[in-house]
A and B are shown apart, each in its own frame.
Chain A
Amino acid sequence: MAHVLVVYTDDEPGVLTRVASLIRRRGFNIHSLTVGPTERAGLSRMTIVVDAEAPTVRQAVEHLRKLVNVLAVEQLGDRPMVVRDLVLVRVAANPEVRSEVLQLAQVFRANVVDIAEDSVVIECTGSLAKIDALVDSMRPFGILELGRTGAVAMARGTRTPAPSRAPVPLRTGTGPEAMSV
């Protein structure tokens, strides 16, 4: 079963390696992992979708919490949340079927971001299920290329998502790569 974890980390070189290394070593099966900056400088936010039973997920959470670079780990499973994935899909669409493809895209409120002679590129944002449905509907035409970002998730309602303790990034290995994770 899929569980959604939100992990706040220092925005520091090597943090993604540490998280990925931990997950590989402990044998947790990852569905997707996304990472990016947050409202606060020096703080990164990862959304990790783990495909595992509840006890395994608990283990993953406790192991993540032990990493020095991790400020907080939240498991969103038990509260309402918004989960969004973005897809870019290049669909085979010669002039004969193009209008049909475009119509279908509209049903999903997807955008057409590129049109070539024999294909179109469609961009769509939505829940994991919606993206799956869009992709399935395009399959009969022929999918030439497909890329997904993986899920970004956030709980619904009023709350203070950022960790209570301010991040205290240590300035090691700084340089132009310091912003990368």
Chain B
Amino acid sequence: MSEPGSFTGAQLIWESLLREGVDTVFGYPGGAILPTYDAMTGYTIRHVLVRHEQSAVHMADGFARASGRVGVVVATSGPGATNLVTGLATAMLDSTPLVAITGQVGSALLGTDAFQEVDITGITIPVTKHNYLVTRAEDIVPAIREAFAVARSGRPGPVLVDITKDAQQARASLDWEAAAPQRHLRHIPPTPKPADLARALDLIRQAKRPVILAGHGIQLSGARAEVIALAERADIPFALTLLGLGAVPATHPLSLGMMGMHGEAWVNRAIQEADLLLAFGMRFDDRVTGKLKDYAPHAKKIHIDIDASELNKNVSVDVAIAADLGAVLRALLPEVPVADRSAWLSTIREWRGDSAVRDIKNLPDDGHLYAAHVMHDLWRLTKGEAVVVTDVGQHQMWEAQYYKHDGERSLVTSGGAGTMGFALPAAIGAKLARPEAEVWVVAGDGGFQMTFAELMTAVQEGVKVNIAIINNGYLGMVRQWQALFYEGRYAATPILSPDFVKLAEAFGIPGQRVERRGELAAAVAKAREAQGAALIEFKVEQEDSVYPMVPAGAALHEMIRRPSALAETGSDPV
């Protein structure tokens, strides 16, 4: 323990962060957090100044998703703190470990509606795993230590620590060991019951048409090798959730691709016809199940997830195991019988049938530029090795369909919350976490306009991200729904954009515009060669839609297929 009163509360914040292994934080200063910013100058931690606090959370989120480390955010009280809410909700729904530190008005002013006072702990209860209101300097270290432990443990998630200004200014001693957290250990799931493991093995043995549902939990658990080993040993194909992309390699022979609303038809058919589903670290979200009543009607179901509250929530299962996926699979693996399920695999291959012909990336170049072309070519040109950070909407689904993610943590995307404006800031965070990686932003013209002020952050911090804006002049996914389900009334979906090339120049970034597929490769090469951030605007087909599609509320096999005449007409056939 240090001498009594040898640190200010503000210093204790930085001391704690250092000891938690933090080297980068994302933030924005303000009155109530000023003592902490003042103390920062004595520490080596890198601070990235954002242009809006929401982006700070997305950056920390991208940082965490790309690296598996805890992302850290610093913001002031009041509007600084409320601006974090969308980012926290995004991280909560996608299980990203984050710690957000906010300044708060002095403890004597709490509850008085003082200047920039907002009850941020009250506001963020539903969008954090836990939060703290710290009013004394001596409570800072225990709160931050526990915050990191809670953020990392079990199913990861965001934690907020709100610290009053007087607590930052007061003095206290530092006793790191005495502050060791324990409460996060209250909810470590018990080891799986042998009876459950035995039942799971029985189901695997008996299954003729099994499918693994590979989710985000594989990455969070670090169970990639175990999942692949089980799939190969038992000859079971795997379908992936959006956040599961990259958890197991897309080009693996047993990989079927993405499932759900915009999954390929044969993938969803395989799930609907399966006699056993092995759900690994996924949560049967409505976007992957379609209509629950008709979901995988013939299948027994094994569900392994570290979060017990996800088991039997949307889908009733036959074996439910609340535990760390990797640990369960390591226990199961030696007992899983080696099997040959080539009959089942070839049935699925048959279902692929004409899908490849319908596939837009295989259509001849007719002068139109489709987003699918951009994704497919970007995948080829980057050899599938880039970290791609997407925004939300049509481009996100096309990316998921056409960029084959082999590497772990190679796709960063807002799945559960579907937060537009996520891509650019999250990509800056991802690049700072993995400077050796090639990072691409893939964003629509709508979402990009929500947070493009962060271009300046990329410039100021010298962060090399390559940006692909898929510009179709619409809020495309909403337009697609209007076309399909609202009789084509395009209410508030046509959207104008600035001249993105000139915009890039205004930020001091090289900008290019691509309107034909033939120009694509050269533009990508030029962007990759640029020293710093680089931007390409792709002017794509305006009324193109994402297929296949399971309409909301329909069963998984009731898909709207890709129209084969799409290339001829060049427009939405609906």
A59–B125 CB distance below 8 A: no
Chain B residues in 8 Å Cβ range of A21: 125-126
A172–B134 CB distance below 8 A: yes
Q: Please encode chain B, from 141 to 152, with 1 for each CB lying within 8 Å of some chain A CB and 0 for all others.
A: 011001000100
Chain B residues in 8 Å Cβ range of A18: 125
Give A20's nearest chain B residue, CB to CB. B125
A174–B136 CB distance below 8 A: yes
Which listed residue (A63, A66, A170) contacts B183, Cβ 8 A? A170
Interface stretch among B216-224, B306-314, B390-398?
Answer: B306-314
Give A21's nearest chain B residue, CB to CB. B125
Q: Is the interface of B mostly helix, strand, loop or mixed?
A: helix
A173–B134 CB distance below 8 A: yes
With A63-B309, A66-B187, A68-B150 in contact, do A171 and B139 touch (Cβ < 8 Å)? yes
Chain B residues in 8 Å Cβ range of A173: 132-135, 139
A172–B182 CB distance below 8 A: no
A14–B183 CB distance below 8 A: no
Chain A residues in 8 Å Cβ range of B133: 13-14, 172-173
Name the interface residues of B111-148: CB closer than 8 Å to any CB of A.
121-122, 125-126, 129-130, 132-136, 138-139, 142-143, 146
Bound state CA distance, A123 and B311, in angstroms? 44
Q: Does B208 contact A (CB under 8 A)?
A: no
Bound state CA distance, A168 and B143, in angstroms? 12
Chain A residues in 8 Å Cβ range of B129: 66, 68
Name the interface residues of B439-463: CB closer than 8 Å to any CB of A.
none
Q: Does B186 contact A (CB under 8 A)?
A: yes
With A58-B312, A173-B135, A174-B136 in contact, do A65 and B187 touch (Cβ < 8 Å)? yes
Q: Does A46 contact B (CB under 8 A)?
A: no
B308–A17 CB distance below 8 A: no
Q: Please encode chain A, from 46 to 78, with 1 for each CB lying within 8 Å of some chain B CB and 0 for all others.
A: 000000000100110011011111110000000
A68–B186 CB distance below 8 A: yes
Bound state CA distance, A25 and B126, in angstroms? 8
A94 → chain B closest CB, angstroms: 47
B132–A172 CB distance below 8 A: yes
Which listed residue (A65, A165, A174) contacts B308, Cβ 8 A? A65
Chain A residues in 8 Å Cβ range of B121: 14
Q: Does A175 contact B (CB under 8 A)?
A: yes
Give A65's nearest chain B residue, CB to CB. B187
Chain B residues in 8 Å Cβ range of A25: 126
B308–A62 CB distance below 8 A: yes
Bound state CA distance, A17 and B121, in angstroms? 11
Give B140's nearest chain A residue, CB to CB. A172
Bound state CA distance, A58 and B186, in angstroms? 18
Q: Does B184 contact A (CB under 8 A)?
A: yes
Bound state CA distance, A63 and B313, in angstroms? 11
Q: Please encode chain A, from 147 to 181, with 1 for each CB lying within 8 Å of some chain B CB and 0 for all others.
A: 00000000000000000010010111111000000
B253 → chain A closest CB, angstroms: 37
Give B308's nearest chain A residue, CB to CB. A62
> What are 10 residue pairs bridging A and B, where the CB atoms are less than 8 Å apart in the complex?
A17-B122, A65-B187, A69-B130, A71-B186, A165-B186, A170-B132, A170-B139, A170-B146, A172-B133, A174-B139
Q: A170-B142, A170-B143, A172-B139 are in contact. List 9 more A-B contacts (CB 8 A).
A: A66-B154, A170-B139, A170-B183, A171-B139, A172-B133, A172-B135, A172-B143, A174-B136, A174-B139
